[in-house]
């Protein structure tokens, strides 16, 4: 039986752009992060992302996190263990330059992984 809504436990700050109509057509940039930033989907080799069997799992964006978590937990026999960090980061693509900036970021990201603060190898205890 699901737990009853408790505003002290079940609250999130909205990450949505205030006043923006999300029903309109548009391009969106979304970042999602693995639970505890685990290197679950592959590794960066020579500045390029190399996906493993978990990294090759994908579905429609709306159900992506749920479907991927379910499949990965089946594969590793860990039902109910988190795969993703809570929430996600989004950015509405507002114009062609904005799209180019995000495309450049996505393409360059694996090459910058060794120096990235989010790389668990760079986290100091």
Domain boundary assignment for the chain: 27-120
Mean pLDDT, the chain, as a whole number? 79
Q: What ranges in the chain are assigned the alpha helix state H?
A: 64-75, 96-108
pLDDT of residue 2: 52
Regions of the chain short of the pLDDT cut 70: 1-12, 26-28, 59-63, 87-88, 125
Q: What is the pLDDT of residue 60?
A: 44
What's the CA gap between 93 and 29, in Å, rounded? 7
pLDDT at 75: 93
Give CA–CA dist 113/44, Å, rounded: 7
CA dihedral 1, 78, 87, 24 (to 10 degrees): -90
How many Å apart are CA 85 and CA 23, to the nearest integer? 26
């Amino acid at each position: 039986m699901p737990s009853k809504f408790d505003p002290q436990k079940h609250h999130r700050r909205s990450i949505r752009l205030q006043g923006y109509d999300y029903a309109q057509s548009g391009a969106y940039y979304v970042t999602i992060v693995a639970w505890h930033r685990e290197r679950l989907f592959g590794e960066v080799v020579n500045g390029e992302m190399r996906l493993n069997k978990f990294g090759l799992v994908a579905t429609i964006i709306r159900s992506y996190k749920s479907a991927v978590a379910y499949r990965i937990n089946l594969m590793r026999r860990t039902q109910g263990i988190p795969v993703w960090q809570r929430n996600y980061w989004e950015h509405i693509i507002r114009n062609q330059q904005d799209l180019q900036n995000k495309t450049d970021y996505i393409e360059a990201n694996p090459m910058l992984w060794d120096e990235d603060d989010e790389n668990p190898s760079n986290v100091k205890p």
